[in-house]
Structure 1
Amino acid sequence: MSNFYEQSLQKLLAEGRLREFKPLTGRSGCRIDYRGRQMLNLTSNDYLGLAGDKRLHEKFYRTMTGGNLLDDFGLGAASSRLLTGDSIRSHQLEQTVRETYNKEACLLFNSGYHANIGILPALLGKNDLILSDKLNHASIVDGMRLSLARHKRFRHCDYAHLAELLHKFRKDFHKVIIVSESVFSMDGDVADIAQIARLKAEYDCLLYLDEAHALGLYGPQGLGMAEEQGQLDAVDLLVGTFGKALASVGAFVLCSAVLRDYLINHSRSLIFTTALPPVVLHWDHFIFQEMLHRSSERSGLKTLSAQLRQSLISHGLRTDGATNIVPVLLGDDSLAVALAESMQERGYLIFPVRPPAVPEGTARFRLSLTADMHWTDIAGVAENIAQLMPHFIA
């Protein structure tokens, strides 16, 4: 039996798809140490540069005293929230997020993955339907698979196709939920939330929006693409994560009070897991409030992203999207692997993105820009990629 697994791994290696852990050290702003040398980190989800901000961490830890050591800086909740793992800090964080968004209720999850695999199966049964954008994140796909509901995927950001599916199938199901990311994690493009909201209202559906890659970056307060597009009121279930621009771990869903209570009683990924530790809850509350005032970082990142896209295009490279996630479309898996290694030798920490993370034939670099970068850091990226590519193309 072990031969099967060994042969499978060898096949992945031959195809350029073998994945391995990559230990990193020495984080300093947008730079990090890998394989004994410092590199510009173009692979991070630390979009606002908060995870690498030493002074911000010092500010947080200066609030630690003997009196609040366990309540605010304890390392373990030691139980699920429904037993003894709940705390005042959890409720304070939920209240702050809820009030900031002006929503009725907020519920914490341990991660965006926990939220996406726990919400859909809890809310939908065999007489219900999930309509999901084809390029939604794997955690949403797993949530659909765990649900008893039927599910169908509409073509990526193709709302005419979504309308066709609603027209054809809405009458056959009790509840229907439309699920989309707001910023898509591998392409860096953006959903038209107003169009989805219009169809949701026309066909009496729920709208589930995953703002994982938009939270912190869009809207006047950084509340995400729904705020940016003026559609916060149209979203029935808005999922945000602390694990990307907010430099932490954990997630939340904003919804009605009824749905919150229902999830507390039916969402297995919430019920059967240990709660977030006190230090994480305290940091999440601290960093969420910091994020609200980072408008200059948001503005600077938008300018930087546009500059890099233009540079890639001017060097004859294929790119897409309109956010700080900037893909470089390469196509071939082996090319992506070899080119990434050569870029690392030139001081750029880039890892290849290959199937199944992206569709077959669309291997790429996913260049992730962060607010602590400057144009001088990334000015040579496109030129280096363009110089290296001919060496790896037969």
Structure 2
Amino acid sequence: MKQNYIDRLTALEKQSNLRKIPQAVPQGQVNLSSNDYLGIAADLRLKTEFLESQNLAELNFTAASSRLLTGNCSEYDRLEKLIAQAYQRESCLVFNSGYHANIGILPALAGSRDLIIADKLVHASIIDGLQLSKAEIRRYRHQHYDHLESLLQKYRDDYEQVFIVTESIFSMDGDLANLPTLVRLKKQYKAFLYVDEAHALGVSGTQGLGLSEHDDLMQDIDFIVGTFGKALASVGAFVVCDTVFKNYLINTSRSFIFTTALPSINLAWTVFIFEKMLKMTERRKQLEQLCIDFSECLNIPYQSHIIPVIIGGNNEAVRVAERLREEGFYILPIRHPTVPEGTARLRISLYAGLQIGELNKLINQLTAHDAKMD
């Protein structure tokens, strides 16, 4: 009965693993737990320009039904065409969130005669999508492409279709997938390649289209998924793919079919900011240099704007995060089971507009903690 759940919550609390919804970031603190990588969310100039450029009377704050009923609008068409053109691909389909995309695309495409092989550390939303699929599921060791190839060699001929699934920039470690190797393997073994660019969109590539653009592989990846809720400071997500797959998803993806559409005002903002994002070259350069400098100060190899500082146990990670918040840095600890046991961490997300001098106190605190642990 209810006592079972009380006992489970008590156990979580004893493990320093009880989640609570935090209050808004206290005023004056440096927010290093946000996904606002380009600093767009706090850019009042962009908000003002958007509002002045729109006929707000024509935009709605609700869609009131799904796109397949009466919820579609011209802003959806504008956004999907804009994204497809940017990626130089046939089609784009917008979803309500990255979670909606990842739980809806693979279960719709992969059936009982198919195989999905996913990196061991893909995001929870992808894992949920795998579990909803009727396909056979196998996982390869994180970034171990020899292991992936051994699975392809062993199982490819047993299945009608095979899907290789990865993130481009991994959300917890900030490390980068080797997309050229994945493209080579997908071609060699006649598989589909599904890449979640959630944490690379806006940041990587000349136009901010992600690691697929940076590596010049946008034409070689079958399904590129991106989200508007991080660097683009909006809401929703998308997949770029061939038209046949878009049409198939419209007819079979449950998370697309059975959900109320996004309001037109949100879509209009996304169109506006996506066009701006394509030209934010200087913000991307500034962010990259900040990340290089910060990583160097901590003696951590630079990989991306997501910088994990491994603490170890859940209890210690919570204590360090609390101490840093007292020093003016809003950093939330990431604990097991979100990350493997013993690797609880501070996941530091840097953003454009932040200066390295603003992080000196944080750097000193973290280096002092490392020295103490040694």
Range of TM-score over shorter length: over 0.9
Match of 1:122 in 2: 108
- Which of 162, 170, 180 is residue 184 of structure 1 equivalent to? 170
- Which of 295, 315, 325 is residue 344 of structure 1 equivalent to? 325
Match of 2:39 in 1: 49
Q: 2: distance between equivalents of 1:291 and 1:64?
A: 18
Q: Return the letter of the residue paired with 2:263.
A: P
Match of 1:7 in 2: 7
Q: Mapping of 1:1-394 within 5 angstroms?
A: 1-24=1-24, 33-34=25-26, 37-65=27-55, 68-70=56-58, 72=59, 74-313=60-299, 319=300, 322-388=303-369
Q: 1:86 to 1:349 in 2, by over 3 A?
A: same
Q: 2: distance between equivalents of 1:390 and 1:195?
A: 38
- Maintained 8 Å contact 1:189/1:321: no
Q: CA deviation at 1:59?
A: 0.9
Q: 2: distance between equivalents of 1:312 and 1:80?
A: 48
SS in 1 for 2:63: coil
Instruction: Could you list the structure 1 runs, at least 4 aligned residues long, displaced by more than 4 angstroms after superposition.
Output: 388-391
SS in 1 for 2:164: strand
Q: CA deviation at 1:254?
A: 0.3
Q: 1: distance between equivalents of 2:80 and 2:337?
A: 35
Q: 2: distance between equivalents of 1:188 and 1:168?
A: 30
Q: 2: distance between equivalents of 1:161 and 1:3?
A: 44
Q: 2: distance between equivalents of 1:86 and 1:384?
A: 51
TM-score with structure 2 length normalisation? 0.97
- Maintained 8 Å contact 1:308/1:379: no
Q: 2: distance between equivalents of 1:192 and 1:103?
A: 22
Percent identity, please.
47
Q: Return the letter of the residue paired with 1:52.
A: A
Q: CA deviation at 1:321?
A: 5.5
Q: CA deviation at 1:320?
A: 5.6
Q: CA deviation at 1:63?
A: 2.3
CA-to-partner distance for each residue in 1:64-114, whole Å, 9 max, x for gaps?
44xx423x3x11000000000011110111001101110001000000100
Q: 2: distance between equivalents of 1:156 and 1:390?
A: 29
Q: CA deviation at 1:306?
A: 1.1
- Maintained 8 Å contact 1:121/1:146: yes
CA-to-partner distance for each residue in 1:283-324, whole Å, 9 max, x for gaps?
0100100100111111111111111111112xxxxx466000
CA-to-partner distance for each residue in 1:311-369, whole Å, 9 max, x for gaps?
112xxxxx466000010011111000011000000000011000121111110000000
Q: Which runs of 5+ in 1 are unaligned?
A: 25-32, 314-318
Q: 1: distance between equivalents of 2:123 and 2:274?
A: 23
SS in 2 for 1:280: helix
Q: CA deviation at 1:388?
A: 4.9
Tell me how large the CA RMSD over aligned residues is: 1.4
Q: Return the letter of the residue paired with 2:7.
A: Q
TM-score with structure 1 length normalisation? 0.93
- Maintained 8 Å contact 1:236/1:255: yes
Q: 2: distance between equivalents of 1:200 and 1:389?
A: 41
Q: How many residues align?
A: 374
Q: 2: distance between equivalents of 1:22 and 1:54?
A: 24
**Higher deviation after alignment, 335-344 or 371-380:** 371-380
Q: 2: distance between equivalents of 1:304 and 1:320?
A: 13
Q: 1:234 to 1:204 in 2, by over 3 A?
A: same
SS in 2 for 1:152: strand
Q: 2: distance between equivalents of 1:240 and 1:386?
A: 35
